[in-house]
Structure 1
């Protein structure tokens, strides 16, 4: 088994990042590897040297064979050896280049993704309530990949293209300086024609991309609607709508292919024509003696013209890619520079918890920027709420939807911070505590069971280490998991599939309860913890919880009032306020909101 300490990606805590200065940030990401990147650039230039050196050697060879009286045969062999050497050197230099750049870039990818992962663990829960998981996943995967491509363009491609242009112009200036005027006139013309021909392709690409996005939405909707479609026998209608969208994508694709085909042929003709013009002009100058140019120089100029236009086009094509890469730098900065953090550094660590809570005039309201798990909404949270909870007491929170029950729970966990008032834990203001250490004494069973694609054992032991012998078996019995464990092919080692797809809702909920109990918490929060269980399973779990809650402070949120009847106190909430507090019997006798809710459920 591998050692996690050896496989864990190493992070640089001082990793610089400023989304407002993306190019400087990109260079800063590699500040410890600038020497390696400089060496990689040098190797890249050497390995690509045939692109500008081969036309020069070829010109020399042609001059040698056309003027044998002026050049001994040994010059031919030497130039041939140089030509062969230029080609062969590409093998080792390319391998060295790949090794140098790969180590640097892949290290940056790991470090940046690790930095994002750490930032996710430090951002407030409210941040995830207002930001989609898909957008964050794109930043980790796609945006970092774009940064890798940007690195190659900024540190390798662009300098190499610029150097190629400089070498071509320098050699031309030394051999046939008058042709610099020709290059100055024709190369901008070639670039202008290329830009003009690109315009219709960009339009067709936008159209095709839009059709693909619409198709993606249609397929996603079709898959989501399959149960409803089958139930209403509407398969043909769904297929018809999907086929219509497919035909639109086909038509857009045909238009794009036609324009691409036309662009490709026209571009080829234009550039071959310009190359022919260059060749003919150079040939005319050599034939008439208008310029001091040899036959070899004619070949050199023709080859360099193609190299020059190709390099100029390469630079033009990298500009939008660089712009896209710099935008990815800004996109990642939205996460790494977010101020919406759960600040724990430097605060008091919680080493022990008795479980006494004091909520004193607590206020919290949701706004456009606020969010919490399961509560992406506007409106009131809690208003001037006060409650004293003794260690070991079981408090049930009930009330209509939107009354503020989940908000109170998220405040107690520390996912949300009060906008007014304070919450004391064992007499200490939670605002001054390191909530990470507090949560080591806390377990939560949420309404929506969250399982990952691991074994039953992995899901139950998630976040725990050094479990005492026999503790797991006791938890399995207490959560009544052994009842269905025997039906699983590998028992505790059975993989559950994505989101626990191989289990029923009740089985998932029992695993979530076992995960909470295995930590032996001092504070236990049950947020509709038995909502997915049938009556028989709920009865078993309730009996187990009654025994297990002894000595722990427990907060229970439930809509089914039968599940909270045994609570020490029931807190009835309405519109973010506490409407009533008492035992089940006291509240029924009082005849208030709780009694009304209880009566409605009995009628249902």
Structure 2
């Protein structure tokens, strides 16, 4: 589904008005939506037909018309009322089904776009913000369409139906309703706008309380350790009292609004009723007693409908803002461009940097400068240096997360910028400092992306990663659930699973980014043994602060301020007595 929606949505979200965007999203279900409007009009017709039928029954009684008119009117309204249930079910299937499909399409397009956006974009925009767009913003759009359709259609059909009936039965009163109904709705809307302000203030106070409770629970160990319970409670009491005051103000305004709106609508209703009664009493315009009751009933329903339509403005505004929020992701330009580029079917593992520079978008100094390095297939290169020296940038260049600002990066002699990086990454494995595991079984985590991996292949990767010994001790073995982010495992166990995941892919290029820095001595020894097996015959780039972990590298590249300062083996660099020796001496000391 995602692939079929990404291009049209990408195009539509470029500087489009959110209303046009919504229309585009719902275009596939336009026939269902038209049918939903028709079904709703029929099912909702009793609301505006009832005053007309009531008028007919009253006129039959007062004017002693044939009794059959009462049975006919009653039968007609009962039939429409009984049809409401099946028609409402059909309406829900038509409208809500269309809205849910639109929401699914939108979420699919968002997820597709997030997979396409560059790592730079993801490092700048927090995961929480993106999650809110996929979950909350799309839900807000769905709710806006549903509420606007349900409430707006109801109010519109009552307005149109009521005015048509009045125009047919008592056309002289149409100008009165066209003036009185909007005026009454305007008064009620003005009262409601004050209520909205107080509602918003109360919502902010509730959000503040939520934040304070979260903060208080997080600080309980610190609070208890320093005997600060009283201070924490006093701080919370201040927030609770502000919430109490805001809630009481809101209740008071709610009460005033309800009472004033009720008074305004009923005063106008009484005045219209009195005017209609006087007109009927003196026989002007041929207004019957039934017309008097009908006009009185319609005033209330039409005023309520107009007020309802005015009240939809905040819902629509919030929904359209969510459409814009989603559009920020769908039109973000930072895409990894692989379209039409050469696919990689095999890789020996040669990596060549030629005068590579890379500068981040913040306009600062280049993170990598004049970087020249030729790496032979199967060679292990260790990158060392102080924080900020450019090591992680070099790794990101090798993975293809970022492209050189200038210079060239070659894979087996082919410029990386001409290759489809998705096909290149099939030959790459990364073992990061913090292993990334999802809440699934050990089998699922190790074989992630390798659907054809059988149990023996998974067990072989676990053995080579020194992970089989702890996996076999677990009650469910390969089917043991690791928990979110691997929370049920130790740091060393998580890292060995990450190595097993890398091994099972049999990569040609291997990236190790501080793979042992967070481990204790025993875990590090087990992981180092596993890494030794993983490195064999693979082009490997290693970043490590602990120099003891890179002694066996074929070459060590010492970086400083984005440049290569020294290159050589561990022994060669120590004999030179340069930057590497200084780093080594500092760690030994």
> TM-score when scaled to structure 1?
0.93
Which of 88, 92, 95 aligns to 1:94? It is: 88
2:447 is equivalent to residue 451 of structure 1: no
CA gap of 1:314–1:196, structure 2 versus 1, over 3 A, is closer
Matches within 5 A, 1:136-175: 136-152=130-146, 157-175=151-169
2:528 is equivalent to residue 542 of structure 1: yes
CA gap of 1:290–1:26, structure 2 versus 1, over 3 A, is same
After superposition, the C-alpha distances for 1:64-111 in whole angstroms (9 at most, x for unaligned) are: 01111xx21111110110121121111111011111113222221212
Aligned to 2:49: 53
Matches within 5 A, 1:500-519: 500-519=486-505
2:258 is equivalent to residue 272 of structure 1: no
Tell me, in whole angstroms, the C-alpha distance in 2 between the residues paired with 1:10 and 1:544: 39
After superposition, the C-alpha distances for 1:300-319 in whole angstroms (9 at most, x for unaligned) are: 10111112111111211122
Tell me, in whole angstroms, the C-alpha distance in 2 between the residues paired with 1:73 and 1:597: 107
CA gap of 1:134–1:469, structure 2 versus 1, over 3 A, is closer
2:119 is equivalent to residue 128 of structure 1: no
Aligned to 1:26: 22
Tell me, in whole angstroms, the C-alpha distance in 2 between the residues paired with 1:380 and 1:218: 42
Aligned to 2:553: 567
Which of 342, 347, 353 aligns to 1:359? It is: 353
* Deviates most, 162-171 or 213-222: 213-222
Q: CA deviation at 1:465?
A: 2.2
Aligned to 1:43: 39
Residues 569, 583 of structure 1: 8 Å contact kept: yes
Matches within 5 A, 1:27-426: 27-68=23-64, 71-152=65-146, 157-368=151-362, 380-426=366-412
Q: CA deviation at 1:350?
A: 0.9
Structure 1 residue matching 2:359: 3-state secondary structure: strand
Q: CA deviation at 1:59?
A: 0.5
Tell me, in whole angstroms, the C-alpha distance in 2 between the residues paired with 1:10 and 1:395: 38
Aligned to 2:544: 558
In structure 1, list runs of 5 or more residues that go unmatched. Answer: 1-7, 370-377
CA gap of 1:225–1:521, structure 2 versus 1, over 3 A, is farther
Which of 478, 488, 493 aligns to 2:464? It is: 478
Residues 37, 155 of structure 1: 8 Å contact kept: no
Residues 11, 114 of structure 1: 8 Å contact kept: no
Q: CA deviation at 1:433?
A: 0.7
Tell me, in whole angstroms, the C-alpha distance in 1 between the residues paired with 2:245 and 2:470: 53
Aligned to 1:579: 565
Residues 189, 311 of structure 2: 8 Å contact kept: no
Structure 1 residue matching 2:564: 3-state secondary structure: strand
Aligned to 1:3: none
CA gap of 1:28–1:351, structure 2 versus 1, over 3 A, is same
> TM-score when scaled to structure 2?
0.95
CA gap of 1:454–1:229, structure 2 versus 1, over 3 A, is farther
Tell me, in whole angstroms, the C-alpha distance in 1 between the residues paired with 2:115 and 2:261: 51
When you count helix as a share of all residues, which structure comes out higher? 2
Q: CA deviation at 1:545?
A: 1.8
After superposition, the C-alpha distances for 1:472-497 in whole angstroms (9 at most, x for unaligned) are: 22221222212322443322211122
Tell me, in whole angstroms, the C-alpha distance in 2 between the residues paired with 1:257 and 1:571: 69
Tell me, in whole angstroms, the C-alpha distance in 1 between the residues paired with 2:391 and 2:227: 40
Q: CA deviation at 1:247?
A: 2.8
Tell me, in whole angstroms, the C-alpha distance in 2 between the residues paired with 1:470 and 1:163: 67
Residues 189, 307 of structure 2: 8 Å contact kept: no
Q: How many residues are aligned here?
A: 586
Q: CA deviation at 1:363?
A: 1.1
Structure 1 residue matching 2:28: 3-state secondary structure: coil
Q: CA deviation at 1:287?
A: 2.2
Tell me, in whole angstroms, the C-alpha distance in 2 between the residues paired with 1:280 and 1:10: 65
2:533 is equivalent to residue 533 of structure 1: no
Aligned to 2:417: 431
Tell me, in whole angstroms, the C-alpha distance in 1 between the residues paired with 2:469 and 2:206: 48
Tell me, in whole angstroms, the C-alpha distance in 2 between the residues paired with 1:511 and 1:250: 52
CA gap of 1:244–1:154, structure 2 versus 1, over 3 A, is closer
Q: CA deviation at 1:595?
A: 1.1
Aligned to 1:592: 578
Structure 2 residue matching 1:386: 3-state secondary structure: strand
Q: CA deviation at 1:469?
A: 5.6
Q: CA deviation at 1:232?
A: 4.3
Q: CA deviation at 1:11?
A: 4.1
Q: CA deviation at 1:153?
A: 5.3
Tell me, in whole angstroms, the C-alpha distance in 1 between the residues paired with 2:198 and 2:70: 52
Residues 492, 527 of structure 2: 8 Å contact kept: no
Q: CA deviation at 1:201?
A: 1.7
In structure 2, list runs of 5 or more residues that go unmatched. Answer: none
After superposition, the C-alpha distances for 1:375-403 in whole angstroms (9 at most, x for unaligned) are: xxx65411121111111000111111111
After superposition, the C-alpha distances for 1:278-311 in whole angstroms (9 at most, x for unaligned) are: 2222222222334421110011101111121111
* Deviates most, 88-97 or 14-23: 14-23
Q: CA deviation at 1:216?
A: 3.1
Structure 2 residue matching 1:366: 3-state secondary structure: coil
Tell me, in whole angstroms, the C-alpha distance in 2 between the residues paired with 1:186 and 1:231: 68
